[in-house]
Amino acid sequence: MNRFSYLLYLLISVFSISCTESNDNSKENALNVLSRKYVKLGLFIGQYDADFVDAYYGPDSLKPKSKPAIFPKDSVQKEIASMQEELEQISKTDTKDQKARAQWMIGQLTAFSRRVKIYSGEFGTFDEESKDLFGVAAPEYPVAHYQLLLDSLDLILPGSGSVQDRFQLLANRFIIPKNKLDTVFKTTIAEARKRTLDHYKLPTEEKFTLGYVTDKSWSGYNWYKGNYTSEIQINTDIQIFIERAIDVGSHESYPGHHVYNMLLEKNLYRDKNWVEISLYPLFSPQSFIAEGGANYGIELAFPGDDKIRFSKEVILPLAGLDSTGTGLYFKALAIRGQLNYARNEAARGLVNGTMSEPQAVDWLKQYCLYNEETALKSVAFIKKYRSYVINYNYGQDVVRKYVENQIKAQNKKASETVDMPAESVKSKIPQRQWKIFYHLLSNPITTQDLLN
Ligand SMILES: [Zn+2]
């Protein structure tokens, strides 16, 4: 290269770098403008649809200043479409963060559009709604699939009579007395927190409150307030069984919803100023990760037989309950856990109009092994939240599979690397599961990212 062509090369390089940079900057600016519009729009819809906004901790300046008497659904839909068009353009970039933000917002806006329809009384089928709201349709299983699981339960449960009755008989030995709920939940959440802190560094100011409520269709709720603070509520309308203290307690707190919301707030909103993260729209793909992740997190915090051990050694004595049969009960619960896809079918039937409410109650009692009051509660939940139910079971399975696939890919890489023997990598699986899960909870992951 002679002196002249070298100078020319330098000039071109500098020019193209600055061009890319300015292109990057203009996309960044456009994304920031769109992220504020996205939040504003979500908060605007939330003025009408009371379940739309689950959490918001962003700037007050984005809160709506007016509320037209009639919900302007057509102009809202137009705004959603035009924002998605702009985001599509931005997503055609090689800049990883920009692409991720744009694609994440596109998916969230598809959910906005579907939820606006539902709010306005335009219903779709169960699968149509879940695809738009959460980015996916849950698999359907035939009745024979559930019957096989019930048969396997039949083999391990003592006594005679129907498998449903025998399960209830066993379960009824593990109901937490109401006056022991607080101590059992506090102790369980403290344990889940300790186990999470063994793996994650959380903001030092993080905190939560724990309260008890009635007259709700859900069993527990995390109201995230921002500034690393959650208000956790436990519904005491119906009897609470010992395993629910671990499942609901950990799901709402550590490493469940409280941790997920904090990691998003810290890593994306505070550190990167991604304003879109400060709004959590309940009916959106974010909930597929929130609910699936919160359920998967229970397995991480209490792996293997840890739930049995913790129940026997700590919370059953605290609740004043006899621990005889705990092992069998949790074995039966593991099978019942696989039956929870049957709840999707009850929801599918109710949403699609192919099942009446009494039929759904019967179905839930027969195939999900719910007692009467839990079945009625579940129907109330489905009537309010519709296809949301798939986030709990299908979400959990998809998150687990995602983590397993990442581990497999790491193992493969390690087996190909001479200085990193596969055995030493394998021995660290729990730590790696926590690490992959941390990544999942700290990034704008879409349902599609998990499925790929
Ligand atoms: Zn949840």
Residue 407 located in a structural domain: no
User: How close is the Cα of 63 to the center of ligand 1, in Å?
Assistant: 25
Give yes or no for a contact between 255 and 103, defined as CB atoms under 8 angstroms apart.
Answer: no
User: How close is the Cα of 377 to the center of ligand 1, in Å?
Assistant: 16
User: How close is the Cα of 17 to the center of ligand 1, in Å?
Assistant: 46
User: How close is the Cα of 267 to the center of ligand 1, in Å?
Assistant: 21
pTM for the predicted model, two decimal places: 0.93
Total domain count for the chain? 2
User: How close is the Cα of 302 to the center of ligand 1, in Å?
Assistant: 17
* Same domain assignment for residues 46 and 161: no
DSSP result, 14-64 = HHHHHHHHHHHHHHHHHHHHHHHHHHHHHHHHHTT-TTSEEEE-S-GGGS-
User: How close is the Cα of 218 to the center of ligand 1, in Å?
Assistant: 9
User: How close is the Cα of 177 to the center of ligand 1, in Å?
Assistant: 24
Nearest-CA neighbor of 391 among 142, 233, 209, 218?
A: 218
Pairing of strands 53-56, 229-235: unpaired
* Same domain assignment for residues 114 and 153: no
User: How close is the Cα of 235 to the center of ligand 1, in Å?
Assistant: 13
Residue the block writes with tokens 């009625």: 376
pLDDT (tens digit, 9 = 90+) per residue, 353-402? Answer: 999 999 999 999 999 999 999 999 999 999 999 999 999 999 999 999 99
Q: What is the pLDDT of residue 351?
A: 98
Choose the final residue of a domain: 341, 361, 392. 392
Q: What is the pLDDT of residue 8?
A: 54
User: How close is the Cα of 251 to the center of ligand 1, in Å?
Assistant: 6
User: How close is the Cα of 124 to the center of ligand 1, in Å?
Assistant: 24
User: How close is the Cα of 62 to the center of ligand 1, in Å?
Assistant: 26
Residue 40 located in a structural domain: yes
User: How close is the Cα of 210 to the center of ligand 1, in Å?
Assistant: 15
User: How close is the Cα of 230 to the center of ligand 1, in Å?
Assistant: 13
Angle at 260 between CA 241 and CA 218, to 5 degrees: 35
User: How close is the Cα of 293 to the center of ligand 1, in Å?
Assistant: 9
* Same domain assignment for residues 35 and 159: no
User: How close is the Cα of 221 to the center of ligand 1, in Å?
Assistant: 6
Residue 447 located in a structural domain: no
Residue 137 located in a structural domain: no
Q: What is the pLDDT of residue 26?
A: 87
Q: What is the pLDDT of residue 420?
A: 61
DSSP result, 336-405 = HHHTTHHHHHHHHHHHHTSS-HHHHHHHHHHHS---HHHHHHHHHHHHHHGGGGHHHHHHHHHHHHHHHH
User: How close is the Cα of 280 to the center of ligand 1, in Å?
Assistant: 13
User: How close is the Cα of 253 to the center of ligand 1, in Å?
Assistant: 9
User: How close is the Cα of 244 to the center of ligand 1, in Å?
Assistant: 13
Residue 31 located in a structural domain: yes
User: How close is the Cα of 289 to the center of ligand 1, in Å?
Assistant: 10
* Same domain assignment for residues 79 and 226: no
pLDDT (tens digit, 9 = 90+) per residue, 248-264? Answer: 999 999 999 999 999 99
Token couple for 67:
């509320």
* Same domain assignment for residues 91 and 160: no
Low-confidence stretches of the chain (pLDDT < 50) are 14-15, 17
User: How close is the Cα of 212 to the center of ligand 1, in Å?
Assistant: 16
* Same domain assignment for residues 150 and 77: no
Give Dmax over CA atoms of the chain in angstroms: 95
Q: Quote the domain boundaries for residue 89.
A: 3-122
Choose the final residue of a domain: 371, 392, 413. 392
